[in-house]
Amino acid sequence: MLESFSFAWLTQPEAWLAFATLLLLEIVLGIDNVIFISILAGKLPAALQARARTVGLMGAMVMRVLLLFSVAWIARLTEPLFTVLGHAFSGRDLILLGGGLFLLYKAVTEMHEQLEGPEGHVGGPSKSLSFAAVIGQIMVLDLVFSLDSVITAVGMADDLGVMVSAVVVTVAIMLFAAGPISGFVQKHPTIKMLALAFLLLIGVNLIADGLGLHIPKGYTYFAMGFAIAVELLNLRLRAGKAVALNEKQA
């Protein structure tokens, strides 16, 4: 049973170890959220992008904290609601399935736009999304990512103060990192395509999890981390060749 929220854990060395472990895990789990927010915010005018990232991440923090204070409701989400072909579906399963399908849809449509251009969409050029539309889509995925994060947190710690503190510090780090990450992703189309492929894999993971087929996220993170590391080497190689070519022409 979770204890009530307090900062008593600050004087407990073992609680600091739990906090550090949970903080690292929350940062890893938050990477997909930051990438999704960065890509969606990139569809807004430049003047609104930073605001959209901030609102999206603050919304994620509020949602996670509220879920942490609603552990009883979280527990009920894991109770079976109905059975289809021998598999019992819970509220959590339905949320993961819906979020996974939505993430697949967004990743595929963004990939299509990157490859075909806005004019490749049926019905003519695509219109820029409104600020409210972007925030609405961010909040939908915030719920899915937050649910996954909170269930993991509850399984790792039994002190509400530790969990809430880890979430708040994680969001503070993400707020600092979101701008550079977003700028880098938007500047390099190949990195953006890899990020979209990453979101596609996360969507598949969510759907599989909702169907009772757990895929360790470590496999996905390792594969995408390796792919991004290779692409960073390619970017550095291309930059070196461009500098050498400019020097030769000069």
Does 1 fall in a domain?
A: no
Is 2 a domain residue?
Answer: no
Query: Is residue 5 one of the residues assigned to a domain?
Result: no
For the chain, percent of residues with pLDDT exceeding 90: 0
C-alpha span between 178 and 150 (Å, rounded) = 21
User: What are the beta bridge partners of residue 83?
Assistant: 88
**Residues of the domain holding 33:** 12-249
Residue 233, CA distances (Å) to 131, 192, 236 in order: 35, 15, 5
Q: List per-residue pLDDT tens for the chain, 250 residues long.
A: 444 555 666 667 777 777 787 777 777 777 777 877 888 888 888 888 888 888 888 887 888 788 777 766 766 677 788 888 777 888 878 888 888 888 888 888 888 887 776 555 444 444 456 788 888 888 877 777 777 667 666 666 667 777 788 888 888 888 888 888 888 877 777 878 887 888 888 888 888 888 888 777 777 778 877 888 888 888 888 877 777 777 777 6
What count of Cα atoms within 13 Å lies in the side-chain half-sphere of residue 101? 7
Q: How many domains does the chain have?
A: 1
Q: Tell whether 7 is covered by a domain.
A: no
Q: What is the pTM of this model?
A: 0.71
Quote the CA–CA distance of 212 and 29 in Å, as a whole number. Answer: 20
Rounded CA-CA distance 46/50 in Å is 8
Determine, yes or no, domain membership for 162: yes
Asked if residue 116 is part of any domain, the answer here is yes
At residue 157, the pLDDT reads 62
pLDDT for 10-39, tens place per residue?
667 777 777 787 777 777 777 777 877 888
Residue 34 near residue 177, CB atoms below 8 Å: yes
pLDDT given for residue 7 in this prediction: 62
Q: Give the integer Cα–Cα distance in Å for 155 and 35.
A: 25
Question: What integer pLDDT is reported at residue 158 of this predicted model?
Answer: 63
* 122 in a structural domain: yes
Nearest in space to 206 (alpha carbons), one of 77, 94, 107, 97: 97
Going from the C-alpha of 216 to that of each of 44, 101, 102, the distances in angstroms are 34, 19, 21
DSSP 123: T
241 belongs to a structural domain: yes
Q: Is 123 left (phi over 0), alpha (psi -120 to 50) or beta?
A: left
| Contact partners, residue 146, CB within 8 Å, separation at least 6 | 60, 63, 64, 67
DSSP string for 77-101 = HTSEEEEETTEEEEHHHHHHHHHHH
Strands 87-90 and 80-84: antiparallel
Under 8 Å between Cβ of 178 and 186? no
pLDDT at site 242: 72
Quote the CA–CA distance of 146 and 58 in Å, as a whole number. 12
